[in-house]
Every structure is written in structure tokens, then in C-alpha cells.
């Protein structure tokens, strides 16, 4: 098992828990009570900073039930936590947009994350033409 250091910014939220055999995504908790009005945007603190293993990043997405239960949409669709975001003050947050008035209790599980290997270093070379077969452009395969 990979050991990962986690700093908790507040008391009263559950510690991160890897549930073997169910899913390898790990739930994240709101670190404070949150009240939002319909149409409001808020950066909700998740109460943790995490020292990611070298060569990894984390992807943060909503739990499947978050919209149904709270009417919240993650404003950046998916959060990317870089390997370099790993210091004492690098608390994770989730940007949320409220589609209705909502109250969320501190410690509510609103998001989930997993870690992913970084892609290899890339070099981009400008060319006039590509050598691959043409697929027909955006939206060309059907309705
Ligand atoms: O949903 C998110 C997305 C990002 N982050 C943190 C981790 C990430 O490493 C850092 C910066 O994110 P990113 O590079 O995507 O944002 P930016 O808008 O380009 O900001 P920066 O100027 O800090 O790079 O913010 C979160 O806590 N939650």
C-alpha cells in the first residue's frame, strides 16, 4: 500500500478512507457548514492538503449523488491537483455552483478523487499537414 501524508485543517471531518473492494475513488468532505443561494458560486474548502507521491496528480470530481442531493455543479467540471500543490498551506477546494438554495453540513461528502500518473513530457512541433487518416471533422459520425 502506498502511504500518503495528509494534513487536516479542521476538526470534525472524517479522515480520508480508502474502501478496498468498492471503489478506488476516495470521498472528500466539506470542511465547514455551507449555505448557498441559487445562482451563487463558492470555493468550498475540503479540509485537506495532501503530499502526492512523486509523478502523480489528483483528479477531483463530484460524487454521483451530489447534484441530486444538493443541486451543486462543480464549476471547473474536474479539478486537477498538481504534484507541486503539496505544501502546508495547499488546502484542496472545490468550486461549486448552486442551482438552488442549499445547506450543506460540515463533513458532508461532496467530492471524490483518485490519483493518476503524470503523462510523459511532450514536445509540440508545428506542421502544415498531419499524416494520420482524416476522420471527417467534428461531429461527422452521426446525429
Ligand atoms: O478543483 C480544484 C482545482 C485546483 N485546485 C488546486 C490544486 C491545483 O494544483 C491548484 C492550481 O490549479 P490549476 O493550475 O488548475 O488552476 P489555475 O487557475 O491555473 O491556478 P494557478 O495560477 O494556481 O496555477 O489549485 C483545487 O484545490 N481544486
**Predicted confidence (pLDDT) at residue 48 exceeds the cutoff of 90:** yes
Kindly state if the Cβ of 75 falls inside 6 Å of ligand 1: no
**Predicted confidence (pLDDT) at residue 51 exceeds the cutoff of 80:** yes
The pLDDT tens digits for 3-12 are 999 999 999 9
Model confidence band, residue 35 (pLDDT cutoffs 50, 70, 90): very high
Atom of ligand 1 nearest to the CA of 91: 27
Return d(Cα 14, Cα 30) in angstroms, integer.
Answer: 10
Kindly state if the Cβ of 93 falls inside 6 Å of ligand 1: yes
Q: Specify the higher pLDDT residue, 2 or 50.
A: 50
Give the pLDDT confidence score for residue 19 in this predicted structure: 81
Give the pLDDT confidence score for residue 142 in this predicted structure: 80
Share of the chain above pLDDT 70, in %: 99
**Predicted confidence (pLDDT) at residue 1 exceeds the cutoff of 80:** no
- Mean pLDDT, the chain, rounded, equals 96
Taking the centre of ligand 1 as the mean of its atom positions, its distance from the CA of residue 81, in whole angstroms, is 6
Return d(Cα 119, Cα 81) in angstroms, integer.
Answer: 14
Kindly state if the Cβ of 94 falls inside 6 Å of ligand 1: yes
What is the CATH topology of the domain spanning 5-117? Answer: Deoxyuridine 5'-Triphosphate Nucleotidohydrolase; Chain A (2.70.40)
**Predicted confidence (pLDDT) at residue 132 exceeds the cutoff of 90:** yes
The mean pLDDT of 93-103, rounded to a whole number, is: 98
Largest CA distance in the chain: 58
Smallest CA-to-CA distance from 62 within 111, 116, 23 is with 111
Amino acid at each position: 500500500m502506498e502511504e500518503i501524508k495528509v494534513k487536516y485543517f479542521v476538526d470534525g471531518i472524517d479522515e480520508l478512507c480508502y474502501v478496498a473492494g468498492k471503489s478506488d475513488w476516495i470521498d472528500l468532505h466539506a470542511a465547514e457548514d455551507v449555505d448557498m443561494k441559487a445562482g451563487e458560486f463558492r470555493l468550498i474548502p475540503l479540509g485537506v492538503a495532501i503530499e502526492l507521491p512523486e509523478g502523480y496528480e489528483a483528479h477531483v470530481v463530484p460524487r454521483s449523488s451530489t447534484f441530486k442531493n444538493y443541486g451543486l455543479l462543480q464549476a471547473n467540471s474536474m479539478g486537477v491537483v498538481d504534484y507541486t500543490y503539496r505544501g502546508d498551506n495547499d488546502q484542496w477546494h472545490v468550486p461549486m455552483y448552486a442551482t438552488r438554495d442549499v445547506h450543506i453540513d460540515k463533513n458532508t461528502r461532496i467530492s471524490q478523487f483518485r490519483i493518476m500518473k503524470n503523462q510523459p513530457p511532450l514536445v509540440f512541433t508545428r506542421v502544415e499537414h498531419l499524416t494520420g487518416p482524416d476522420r471527417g471533422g467534428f461531429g461527422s459520425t452521426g446525429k
